[in-house]
Every structure is written in structure tokens, then in C-alpha cells.
Amino acid sequence: MKNVDLIVLRAITTQQKRLSLSNKKLYHLPYNIEFLNWLVILDLRSNNLSDLPILPKHLQSINLGHNWFTTIPNSVFELTSLKSISMYSNQLQSIPSTIFAHLKYLSSSHNKLTTLPESMCSMLNKLEYLNLGYNHILTLPFNFGLLQNMKTLLLHKNFLTRLPETFGQLKSLTVLDLAGNNLQLLPSNFTQLKLKEFYAEANPFTRNDLFTSTYKENVLTLKEIVLRKLSRLGFIDIGVSNPWLESIIGSKQWQTAGFCALCKNPFVTWWLESVRFANRKELIISKKSQLNKASPEVLYPLRTLFCSYHCLNSSGNCYELSVG
């Protein structure tokens, strides 16, 4: 510890902006580290840390990889200038709902995460790099598409079974790794992404051997009929207090309403799901992409949503009914 104290003391006297205390077998940080107010980058990886004291308030980058954190320390949330945080290879089980508004880089691979908070997507609107590989994530928040500055997204080796329909709204995304999950379908608007690198091997994707639908009649609930009519309105004035209508408009079901792939009319309940198959040319914009190494015959199943069997049966041979 004396060696560490000397390193911190030297940082105080020289007012250096970068400090590395990696691989020092630390269980605790020196108390006087908070006084390094000029410090911008702090490297604490590969120690035995499980908590942190008060940190220099102007930090912009901190590396906490290869430690024993079970949650992001409270003192980190006091860093209002933080733009980059690495928490890989810890014991994280969750990401707090209150997270850093100015963050551009977040690496939290090799942890025990199972879910992500919805508030994360609305707050991290400046995030450009997100690595959540090698976790236990089952689903992504429905508002994941709000991360519109994201350029690199690594979700490999998780337990994802489905991606939200807002996924296609990630307009800045160029690198995507979905390898080693449990995905059967990709979102219907997946082709709107401008990918340069795409990895999706080792997923149980739906195969191109399905059958077309022979159904012709639709049986809709009264609730679905009302919701469809409401969703077609450009503006809804509730007027007199209507708790039922207010609860509907504020529900996640309303917020995630879909649009028919054929007639483009809105619907609320995703009761009729089908699939079309896209080749690699539809998913990529770079001629030098890693996807070009795949076989030309590789087809990727895209979830396709219809409002009725009439639209499904009128869509043509490129759409087929998903049977599981």
C-alpha cells in the first residue's frame, strides 16, 4: 500500500491528468484520491475492489474491469462529467435506473446482468458504444430504439429470444454482434439499419420451410377494435376524465403498437405474426463487411406483422406464417 500512496502523492505534486492503479492487488483506495481534482482518466482494473470512496469530481473516464463489484458504486454517480466507464468481468447483477446522462462508452461484458432498465434508454441518448456480451440478458427494453447515437452494440453470448420492434430506429448503428443468443426472428424494420459489420451465428433462426396461411376470417376483441380506431387518430382529446382511456393511452401496449406490413394501418395486439426472409445484401451497406464472408445462401428471418389474414394472404410469396 505504501507504493500506492507514493503513486498518489506523485500525482498530487505533478497534477497529472491520468492515473493508473491497475494490478496493485487493492482492496481499498487511498483516502486522498478524492483531492486529485485535475484527474481526467482513472485506471483501477485488475484489483480486488468492491466499493469506492469519493472520487475526483472531474473524471471523464474510469476503468473498473476485473474487480468484485456487484453494483455500480454510488460515488461513480457523482461524476457528472463521466463519458466512459468499463465494468467488464465483475459480478454486476443489474444496472441502476439512474445512470450517467453524458456517457458515450459503456463496457459491462462478462457479468451477471439479466435485464436493463427502461430509463437507461431514455437517459443515455449520447451513448455510442455498448458492450453487454457474456451476460444473462433475456430481453431488451421496448424503448431501446431511443439510443439513436449508438454506433457499436455487442450483445453476443446472452439469452435473448426477441429484439424489440424499435431496434430498427438505431439509425447510427454500424457494428452489431448478436452471436450466440436464442433468437428465432429479427425485427420487421431490421433492414433500416446501416450496418457495416453484423454477426449472428449460433442462433436458432427460423428456417425457410414454413407454410402459408389458409385462414380468411378474423375474430377481433372489442378492445382491439376500439384501440385500432383510436390509434388511427392523429390527436386524442380525452376531455372529461376517463380513467379507462387514460390507462390505455399510457400503457406499454399502446406505445408499442405496430403497423401492418401491407396496408400500413395500425394495430395494437400482435396476434398475427409472420416472417419473411432477407438475404445478406438487404442487411448490409458495406461491400467489405464481415457479413460477406457468409454463404450467399444465408437467409435471415425478419418478423413481419399483419393486421388481418386478408393482408397476410394478399402479401405475396415472400411472406409466410410463423408457426413457432
More confident residue, 317 or 96: 96
pLDDT band, residue 261 (cuts 50/70/90) = confident
Domain count across the chain: 1
For 97-138, write each residue's pLDDT tens digit: 777 789 999 999 999 999 999 989 989 999 999 999 999 999
Would 228 be classed as within a structural domain?
A: yes
Would 116 be classed as within a structural domain?
A: no
For 191-207, write each residue's pLDDT tens digit: 999 999 999 999 999 87
For 2-33, write each residue's pLDDT tens digit: 577 676 767 677 788 999 999 999 999 988 88
Would 85 be classed as within a structural domain?
A: no
Mean pLDDT of the chain: 82
The most confident of the ranges 52-61, 252-261, 305-314 is 52-61
Would 99 be classed as within a structural domain?
A: no
Percent of the chain with pLDDT over 90: 50
Q: Does the structure show a pLDDT above 60 at 322?
A: no
For 181-239, write each residue's pLDDT tens digit: 999 999 988 999 999 999 999 999 987 655 455 555 566 666 666 666 666 665 555 55
- pLDDT, mean of residues 302-320: 69
- Look up the pTM and report it: 0.81
Would 238 be classed as within a structural domain?
A: yes
Would 18 be classed as within a structural domain?
A: no
Parent domain of 213: 208-324
Q: Does the structure show a pLDDT above 60 at 299?
A: yes
Would 22 be classed as within a structural domain?
A: no
CB 245 within 8 A of CB 227: no
Q: Does the structure show a pLDDT above 60 at 254?
A: no
* Long-range pairs of 132-140 with CB within 8 A, sequence gap ≥ 24: 132/108, 132/158, 133/109, 133/157, 133/158, 133/177, 134/109, 134/110, 134/158, 135/108, 135/109, 135/110, 135/111, 136/112, 137/113, 138/114, 139/115, 140/116, 140/164, 140/167
Would 106 be classed as within a structural domain?
A: no
